[in-house]
Amino acid sequence: MSELKLPSIDYAALAPTLILLGAALVGVLVEAFVPRRRRHVVQLAVALLAVLGALTMVVLNANDRLITIGGAIAIDGPALFLQGAILVLAAMALLLIGERTVERGGAFVAQAAVTAESADDRRQAEGAPGATEVYPLTSFAVGGMLIFVAANDLLTMFIALEVLSLPLYLLCALARRRRLLSQEAAMKYFLLGAYASAFFLFGVALVYGFTAGIPGRAAGVDFATIHAAVAESPSSSVLLFGGMAMIAIGLLFKAGAAPFHVWTPDVYQGAPTPITGFMAACTKVAAFGALLRVFHVAFEGARWDFTPVLGTVAVLTMLVGAVLAVTQTDIKRLLAYSSIANAGYLLVGVLAPTSDGVSGTMFYLVAYGFSVLAAFAVVTLVRDADGEATHLSRWAGLGQRSPFYAGLFTFILLAFAGIPLTSGFTSKFAVFSAAFDGGQGWLVIAGVLTSMVLAFPYLRVVVLMWLSEPGESTPAVVMPGWLTSAALTIGVVATLVLGVFPQPLLDLAAGAAEFVR
């Protein structure tokens, strides 16, 4: 038996992931050993500290450009930038998740096992403290996302995909109110997510077959091998294209691109709003981080082949998101369709063949994440005795009831609409100009046209809030606790600053736009 050779492991470079997964395990222990009264504070503290610790490690690692743990993980510019983005946005999301003053007991169900709409259920909805398992679940999901954007082979990526997805499925089911809706959303997300994972895995198998037979190189699904295989594999390219298509489908599902977006509105609507914000911000970063890596590193050599297909997907996504957003009557569904359209704009950045495309996409992800979390933070505040009032008719005249929060929400909507001097404009500008420069003018034209359409539903909400008389059913905005206030402030300030002084973050993204192979 030959001596087993262990791969070298750079623990410092992996530290962010390890911290998060470790914190998740600690969280599980906390559930077991800490008295129920204290769990909320302890869990929130553990999760937040882990996120901040991981963020510190990302900052300390900022200059790393390496591949470690046997080629499974690549810590390079995009990985570090996106990990940092995920952590910052996750910290904001945790603030929203931890909020307990807006609604007694928080946004989560006290006992997930209680039958929905039973007497017990109604009792728990009245203010029993929410389940604290959400914190370890969130930590696991964040840990999975950190691996997802740094994965250097398709199998690691697949495992990371599952690690980040499974906790999300559970989290979606934990809304305190409207539990049927929430559980239905989780079920749908789970079934369809499993379905999409199967596509991804099948794609991995096909690509593995494709890499077999390169002279002097073993078959494998790490990105360097795939890259080499694209250039010189003797295998049938049907394997490559079939595999590439299926991998793309798996990732586009997570990204919420049409026609794989169908789950998005239901899940966004049914999930507890802090989790919706978390998904809209962090999952999006993770999914596009993976798309960037797969298409800029592994399949780079086939760029001219995948660009038209994925470009069509991008156009379709923008169109579906923008046009259907117009017909929505529920604010969470409206934001879901908006996030679909934004996935289309992000795809435009992914398809720009330069490092400007990579940096533009990364900038966009951060900017959008801040805005969308702030938007969902406001959604958690507009409520009545039955919980959040998400139907748009209930938002009529909100500007006169609560001018401050309506003003903040207006600002965020203007950012979504891409009005200049908000981050929405600079980020769209960054991806569109990169794509135009890279010769993808048709995508930019589609992007500009659909963003013109998409501005309309946003402005409709603005007009509804400010120019309508408040009806009897217009709820008041409840005073947010300091956690929500903090998240909202961060989101709004970031949206403004990135719209007026985007340069520092653009520089950071531009400096982090090179992948290692």
The whole-angstrom separation of Cα 334 and Cα 265 is 8
Residue 313's contacts (CB-CB under 8 Å, 6 or more residues apart) are 252, 257, 258, 347
Q: Which residue has the tokens 């169109």?
A: 319
Q: Which of 214, 415, 430, 512 binds other proteins (CB under 8 A)?
A: 430
Query: What's the min distance (Å) between Cβ of 343 and other proteins?
Result: 14
Query: What's the min distance (Å) between Cβ of 347 and other proteins?
Result: 13
Q: 67: which strand partners? A: 74
Contact window for other proteins (CB under 8 A) among 63-71, 148-156, 163-171, 178-186: 178-186
Tokens (6 digits) for 156: 């690691």
Q: Is 296 in the site for other proteins (CB under 8 A)?
A: no
| Nearest residue (CB) to other proteins, 56 versus 354 | 354
| Nearest residue (CB) to other proteins, 41 versus 180 | 180
Query: What's the min distance (Å) between Cβ of 156 and other proteins?
Result: 23
Query: What's the min distance (Å) between Cβ of 459 and other proteins?
Result: 7
Q: Which residue has the tokens 């983005």?
A: 85
Question: Residues 277, 377: contact at Cβ < 8 Å?
Answer: yes
Q: Is 59 in the site for other proteins (CB under 8 A)?
A: no
Contact window for other proteins (CB under 8 A) among 94-102, 126-134, 158-166, 243-251: 243-251
Question: In whole angstroms, how large is the CA radius of gyration of the chain?
Answer: 22
Q: Which of 312, 471, 479, 493 binds other proteins (CB under 8 A)?
A: 312
Question: Residues 439, 352: contact at Cβ < 8 Å?
Answer: no
Q: Please, which of residues 222-241 interact with other proteins by CB under 8 A?
A: 237-238, 240-241
Q: Is 493 in the site for other proteins (CB under 8 A)?
A: no
Q: Is 304 in the site for other proteins (CB under 8 A)?
A: yes
Tokens (6 digits) for 442: 């048709």
* 253 residue type, one letter: F
Q: Is 332 in the site for other proteins (CB under 8 A)?
A: no
Q: Please, which of residues 245-284 interact with other proteins by CB under 8 A?
A: 245-246, 248-249, 253, 258-260, 262-263, 265-266, 269
Q: Is 407 in the site for other proteins (CB under 8 A)?
A: yes
Which residue from 109, 107, 91 is spatially nearest to 99, judged by alpha carbons?
A: 107
| Nearest residue (CB) to other proteins, 48 versus 513 | 513
| Nearest residue (CB) to other proteins, 42 versus 267 | 267
Residue 107's contacts (CB-CB under 8 Å, 6 or more residues apart) are 96, 97, 99, 130, 175, 176, 272, 273, 274, 380
The whole-angstrom separation of Cα 44 and Cα 95 is 8
Q: Is 205 in the site for other proteins (CB under 8 A)?
A: no
Q: 74: which strand partners? A: 67
Q: Is 195 in the site for other proteins (CB under 8 A)?
A: yes
Q: Is 496 in the site for other proteins (CB under 8 A)?
A: no
Q: Please, which of residues 432-471 interact with other proteins by CB under 8 A?
A: 432-434, 436-437, 441, 444-445, 448-449, 452-453, 455-456, 459, 463, 466-469
Q: Please, which of residues 110-169 interact with other proteins by CB under 8 A?
A: 117
Q: Which of 426, 474, 484, 495 binds other proteins (CB under 8 A)?
A: 426
| Nearest residue (CB) to other proteins, 62 versus 459 | 459
The whole-angstrom separation of Cα 58 and Cα 53 is 9
Q: Is 295 in the site for other proteins (CB under 8 A)?
A: no
Contact window for other proteins (CB under 8 A) among 62-70, 92-100, 158-166, 193-201: 193-201
Q: 384: which strand partners? A: 387
Tokens (6 digits) for 78: 């995009």
The DSSP call for residue 112 is: T
Residue 493: count of CB within 10 angstroms of its CB: 12
Q: Is 180 in the site for other proteins (CB under 8 A)?
A: yes
CA angle, 373 as apex, 185 and 183 as ends, to 5°? 15
Q: Is 326 in the site for other proteins (CB under 8 A)?
A: yes
Q: Which of 90, 145, 377, 414 binds other proteins (CB under 8 A)?
A: 414
The whole-angstrom separation of Cα 230 and Cα 223 is 10
DSSP E strand boundaries for 160-305 = none
* 82 residue type, one letter: L
| Nearest residue (CB) to other proteins, 142 versus 287 | 287
- As to burial, measured by CB atoms within 10 angstroms (0-12 exposed, 13-18 middle, 19+ buried), residue 230 is buried
| Nearest residue (CB) to other proteins, 120 versus 330 | 330
Q: Is 81 in the site for other proteins (CB under 8 A)?
A: no
Under rule CB under 8 A, how many of the chain's residues touch other proteins?
91
| Nearest residue (CB) to other proteins, 482 versus 501 | 501
Compute φ and ψ for 413, nearest 5 degrees.
-65, -40
